[in-house]
Chains A and B, each alone.
Chain A
Amino acid sequence: MSAPAISFHNLTLGYDRHPAVHHITGEVAQGALLAVVGSNGAGKSTLLKAIVGELKPLSGRLDLHGNGKHDIAYLPQVVDIDRGFPISVFDCVAMGLWHETGASGGLDPSCDARVAEALETVSLTGLAARPVGALSGGQFQRVLFARLLLQDAKIILLDEPFRAVDARTIADLIRLIGQWQGEGRTVIAVLHDIELVRRYFPETLLLARDVLAWGETPSVLTPVNLDRSRRFDEAFDDHAAVCHTDEARETA
């Protein structure tokens, strides 16, 4: 097994002291293609937010093995994008080159060519000059993928990337994800479509606040595990007692 890209050391994440991800320990290898599966409120998005640094751990440790801001590309589930903003598809995708251009660097012709290439990869070449507000939901999702493509990151986090996307586009995007893995990038995707996970993702993490199973997809997505996942109770208990797992582990 190759070197780890991300390691969780007994990591607990949550909001207002209530854990959303509870005592997760494990490693994501470099070049892994990992699907994160679980019911609503199981902590999938929370885990990705912690990796990008949006959320500080309640306890435990997250090790990115030297990967910084520029090495992680993140496609959030709820995109807080102002679709009415007057900006062209081309300019929006070109923002993916931020790590090269910074705040004031210019776009030279080779950058233009790469933006055009990224647009071609997601079959949006003809729409480059249109304002983003004129795109459909699926087309816009492809714009975000094109931008992700240009970020050229070692670790790519996708939170439910296939919302509002038709079957043909999903096939295109899956091919893209496969290509990323082929290039040695680490891809972690939160997904709901179990069939999709079985077909394309070699490794799966099944979450229900605690880790239910983590490993090769066929051994994780068993009927027994999926049944346990479905019975997960997402509500926080307002009167929950303080968790003593860590102390117990230390004294043991």
Chain B
Amino acid sequence: MIHAVLDPFVEFAFMRRALVGCLAISMTAPPIGVFLMLRRMSLMGDAMGHAILPGAAIGYLLAGLSLFAMSLGGFAAGLAVALAAGLVARSRVIREDASLAGFYLISLALGVFLVSVHGTNVDLLHVLFGSVLALNDAALLLVASIATVSLVTLAVIYRPLVLECFDPYYLRSVSHWSSPTHLIFLVLVVLNLVAGFQALGTLMAVGIMLLPAVGARFWADNAGGMIAVAIVAALLSSFAGLLISYHYNVPTGPTVILACGAFYLFSMLAGRRGGALWGLMPAKHLEA
């Protein structure tokens, strides 16, 4: 048993790299996901995942399969879409979801256009689904740097961010933090998607960001508790996903996300805060 768990990582450097990469992402993406969920922007993660595509594609077409070029391109494209959508929404004519939908669809179409004109569909799959088993030193360093920067930034903007989600008018009435907090948060979302796309691909990156976060809501009733639960769930899912994919020879990225999905389904059933199974066993009500 202990051999089945440890041997793959002891024997193979690529498994150790994959583990380090996934653990780094598991530390940083789930807290971002918790705030996306609390801001009712869960689907924004998905939209942003698409928005990154043209940048990554341009990077790929210019420099080949260079992770650095693709990351830089993806970051630039994602940031452009997020900021444009955020600024348009600040004008309060249309809501953020609508303005984001507009920009990310343009971006996605552009990405597919670029890849189709210059490459084949196999290339597109490579961009979309990543390659966790092929992380090199540079990619690991990039992922780890992004994780560090976003955790520190999140700690600095934590209070305004909670308030921006909970009561944005109040935040605006007492301070000038509202707009900067929102924009910094969007930058963090993009950064984390870029980090995730190194290892898991653009689509999978959204999974590790949101599934642990959504599941965590069933276990904790404050933002800090949710973040802790989500990080632990993501760490365990990454570990389990890598092992399963190694032993059964199945694709790694999807397996990690499916492990996160299993956590979400389990939470929905068994979570202490509103899990379905607890509803089947009603406890007697209290006196007051």
Contacts and interface: CB of A to CB of B under 8 A. Distances in A.
Interface of A: 52, 54, 69-70, 72-74, 76, 79-82, 85-88, 91-92, 95, 98-99, 101-104, 131, 147, 151
Nearest to B159: A103
Interface stretch (B8-16, B134-142, B168-176, B252-260): B168-176
Given A80-B168, A87-B222, A131-B221, A98 B162 contact: no
B95 to A, nearest CB: 12
Contact of B156 (A70, A91, A104): A104
A151 B160 contact: no
Given A85-B38, A151-B174, A104 B159 contact: yes
B223 A86 contact: yes
B114 interface: no
B174 A70 contact: yes
Interface residues of B, number: 27
Contacts of B221: 86, 131
A98 B166 contact: no
A101 B174 CA distance: 12
B169 A80 contact: yes
A98 B156 contact: no
A112 B217 CA distance: 27
Contacts of A79: 167, 169
Q: Is the interface of B mostly helix, strand, loop or mixed?
A: helix
B14 to A, nearest CB: 40
Given A81-B166, A103-B160, A86 B38 contact: yes
Given A104-B156, A104-B159, A87 B175 contact: no
B89 interface: no
B164 to A, nearest CB: 10
A83 B146 CA distance: 33
9 contacts: A69-B175, A70-B174, A81-B170, A86-B221, A87-B166, A92-B166, A95-B167, A103-B177, A104-B159
Given A69-B173, A70-B174, A103-B175, A82 B165 contact: yes
A88 to B, nearest CB: 7
Contacts of A91: 222
B174 A98 contact: yes
B226 interface: yes
Contacts of A80: 167-169
B220 interface: yes
B173 A74 contact: yes
B163 interface: yes
A109 to B, nearest CB: 19
A95 B163 contact: yes
